[in-house]
Amino acid sequence: MTTSDPIRFAVPLYTVADAARIVGVPASTLATWSNGYVRKFSDRSHVVGSSIITHLPQTGYREPTIPFVGLAEALVLAAVRQSGVPMQRIRPALKQLQADIGVQHALASRKLYTDGAELLFDYVEHHAGTDEARLVRSLVVVRNGQRVFKEVIEAYLSRIEYASDGYAALFRVPAYEHAEVVVDPTRAFGVPIFERGGVRVDDVLERFWAGDPLDELSAEFGVPADQLEDVLRVASRRAA
């Protein structure tokens, strides 16, 4: 898989900070997903959490380590975090989910979207009565007789488009309400771009901060003004 399609699986495109900004979580949180963590205590055993998203060896200081498939996995974890369930408490369930799905990079696979809620529900039944099971149960609901993901997770998963191999090929960035901003590893080296026109979000922002009027940018790049305003709102909020 990684040999035939390296751009998604084997090319490091994002630093931890880049990935965190795109999926909308603190960089410190994404670092634990990528690198794992060790929590040391003076009065009890250390707590160790292993890496949970795909990352590659670092080739230099501040060089990218996360390929697109790892970014897509992080998007799914961001959805879980957005649902309010503590990641630390359900790591074992997520590890089991990935094993049950039965493919590499399970969090970035279409199988997660189609089978993940059912598998999590089964996990709850096998671990009934535990705090962990109660937390996992809050991620899924029964709708029309089917076990499906909670609405907030479904909203994130619906942003992903999958390639013919069943793995994420691009996704729409969750930070924006109106702007159609996508991450596609085959375009602009995987940085966020406006889906319409393909211009890099950072390039538009740079032009705006340099004094170019919004209406002129809209006309030049073919991006509706309301989408530009949405991107500016998010950028201003991050800078505050």
Q: Does pLDDT of 61 surpass 90?
A: no
What's the pTM value of the predicted model, to 2 decimals?
Answer: 0.91
Name the nearest CA neighbour of 19 among 219, 227, 190: 190
175-240: CATH number: 1.10.10.10
Q: What percent of the chain has pLDDT over 90?
A: 80
For residues 206 and 152, the answer to whether their CB atoms sit within 8 Å is no
Of residues 45 and 193, more confidently modeled: 193
Q: Does pLDDT of 44 surpass 80?
A: no
- Whole-angstrom distance, CA of residue 165 vs CA of residue 83: 29
Angstrom distances, CA of residue 205 to CA of 55, 176, 183, 218: 29, 15, 17, 12
* Model confidence band, residue 2 (pLDDT cutoffs 50, 70, 90): very low
The first and second tokens of residue 73, run together, are: 């996995």
For residues 150 and 141, the answer to whether their CB atoms sit within 8 Å is yes
* Residue-wise pLDDT tens digits, 112-130: 999 999 999 999 999 998 9
Of residues 196 and 231, more confidently modeled: 231
- Whole-angstrom distance, CA of residue 153 vs CA of residue 23: 13
Q: Does pLDDT of 1 surpass 60?
A: no
* Residue-wise pLDDT tens digits, 132-191: 999 999 999 988 888 999 999 999 999 999 999 999 999 999 999 999 999 999 999 999
* Residue-wise pLDDT tens digits, 17-26: 999 999 999 9
Provide the residue ranges of all domains of the chain, joining segments of one domain with +: 6-174, 175-240
* Model confidence band, residue 3 (pLDDT cutoffs 50, 70, 90): very low
* Residue-wise pLDDT tens digits, 180-222: 999 999 999 999 999 988 999 999 999 999 999 999 999 999 9
* Model confidence band, residue 47 (pLDDT cutoffs 50, 70, 90): low
For residues 167 and 69, the answer to whether their CB atoms sit within 8 Å is yes
Q: What average pLDDT does the chain have? A: 92
